[in-house]
């Protein structure tokens, strides 16, 4: 059983769209052959001069209008446990930092400043750890003072 060649031919609308501008299509084929991006080339080969029709007011009027029904649900167990898990590290860190600041403020060596004189420079106190420098960060890290 043989099938006629017309069965494999493109529909008239497609064939008119593809053969309407043969020069443009020829240029696009050559550009597609030399292009590095096969996806970009294949995008432009099929009738790039045709634009998609914009939806009209009548088309928008026939669209179904969906409404969302939201039930007021209280916080679930996951939300409560997640909130607690989020807050715990901040509470623990603030307690530990507070202890270090109190320990530094009561230090007899540096008298709460966190810095001790070593030669010409101020260094961190080894007794309390010098957690926060109450004079300056430059002295805290042992950098030489700025020359003005």
What pLDDT is recorded for position 85?
Answer: 96
Q: Counting Cβ atoms within 10 Å, is residue 144 exposed (0-12), middle (13-18) or buried (19+)?
A: exposed
- Rounded Cα–Cα distance for residues 107 and 73 (Å): 53
User: Is 45:54 a contact under the CB 8 Å cutoff?
Assistant: no
Q: Considering the domain boundaries, does residue 72 fall inside one?
A: no
pTM of the predicted structure, to 2 decimals: 0.40
Q: Considering the domain boundaries, does residue 86 fall inside one?
A: no
Q: Considering the domain boundaries, does residue 66 fall inside one?
A: no
Name the H helices within the chain.
12-19, 22-34, 38-45, 57-61, 77-105, 137-140
- Rounded Cα–Cα distance for residues 117 and 139 (Å): 10
**CA nearest 102: which of 145, 132, 65, 74?**
132
Q: Considering the domain boundaries, does residue 128 fall inside one?
A: yes
Query: What range defines the domain where residue 25 resides?
Result: 10-49
Q: Considering the domain boundaries, does residue 115 fall inside one?
A: yes
What pLDDT is recorded for position 11?
Answer: 56
Return per-residue pLDDT of the chain as tens, 148 residues: 566 655 555 555 555 555 555 444 444 444 444 545 554 544 444 455 566 666 666 655 666 666 666 777 788 899 999 999 999 999 999 999 888 888 888 889 888 888 888 888 778 888 887 777 666 666 666 666 555 4
What pLDDT is recorded for position 91?
Answer: 96
What pLDDT is recorded for position 100?
Answer: 86
Q: Considering the domain boundaries, does residue 61 fall inside one?
A: no
């Amino acid at each position: 059983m043989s099938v006629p060649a017309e069965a494999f031919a493109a529909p008239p609308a497609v064939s008119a769209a593809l053969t309407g501008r043969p020069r443009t299509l020829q240029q696009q084929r050559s550009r597609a052959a030399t292009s590095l991006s096969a996806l970009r080339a294949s995008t432009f080969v099929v009738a790039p001069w045709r634009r998609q029709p914009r939806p009209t007011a009548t088309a928008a009027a026939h669209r179904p209008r969906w409404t969302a029904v939201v039930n007021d649900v209280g916080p679930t167990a996951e939300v409560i446990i997640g909130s607690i898990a989020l807050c715990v590290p901040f509470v623990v860190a603030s307690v530990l930092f507070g202890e270090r600041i109190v320990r530094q403020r009561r230090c007899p060596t540096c008298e709460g400043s966190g810095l001790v004189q070593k030669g010409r420079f101020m260094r961190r106190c080894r007794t309390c750890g010098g957690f926060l420098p109450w004079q300056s960060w430059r002295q805290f890290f042992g950098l030489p003072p700025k020359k003005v």
